[in-house]
Amino acid sequence: MLQNAACVNSNDSPPTSPEAAVPPTSRFAALADRFGATASFLCAVHCALLPFVIAILPALGLGFLADHAIERGFVVFACTLAVTMLVLGYRRHGNTKALSVLFPGIALLLAGVLIDFERAATVHAVLVACGGTLVALAHIVNLRLSHRHDENCRH
């Protein structure tokens, strides 16, 4: 379970508001990392399931979800968000663990997008699903590393 960016020490009185304990840039970074992790995970699920549900998407009016241009656009957005947030996180905490998970994830995502979907749908799905999962994991690692333990922490 993810911890909030601001913690309250059980021995001390809590801050007047949770926002008072956390600078706005840290709140934005934590929110962006959570958004990135969720989006990357959903992308991984989408890519893993797409070969199985591609036939029913048009019947549901969701045929656009199988469009390669949308997928490529989402991959570019996810990679840009991830690199931006994890580099900012690295500047805050100085630990390369999140980046070491991110870059293989991006490599898998890009390799999956470049694979011809029509000829190798399974390889495409596996590469993109694994890449999206690694990118989501990198966001979670970055959240953990960015969490600051101080006198306001209760754990």
Question: Cα dist. 114→13, 71, 118 in Å?
Answer: 54, 11, 12
Closest C-alpha among 121, 97, 96, 124 to residue 110: 124
d(CA 79, CA 56): 29
**Residue 114 maps to a domain:** yes
- pTM (two decimals): 0.65
pLDDT at 99 over 90: yes
pLDDT at 134: 92
Question: Cα dist. 128→50, 95, 111 in Å?
Answer: 11, 26, 8
Question: Residue 48 is part of which domain span?
Answer: 38-146
pLDDT at 140 over 80: yes
What is the pLDDT averaged over residues 1-9?
42
**Residue 33 maps to a domain:** no
**Residue 18 maps to a domain:** no
Q: Going by C-beta distance under 8 Å and a sequence separation of 6 or more, which residues neighbour residue 18?
A: 4, 6
**Residue 138 maps to a domain:** yes
Contact 130, 52 (CB under 8 A): no
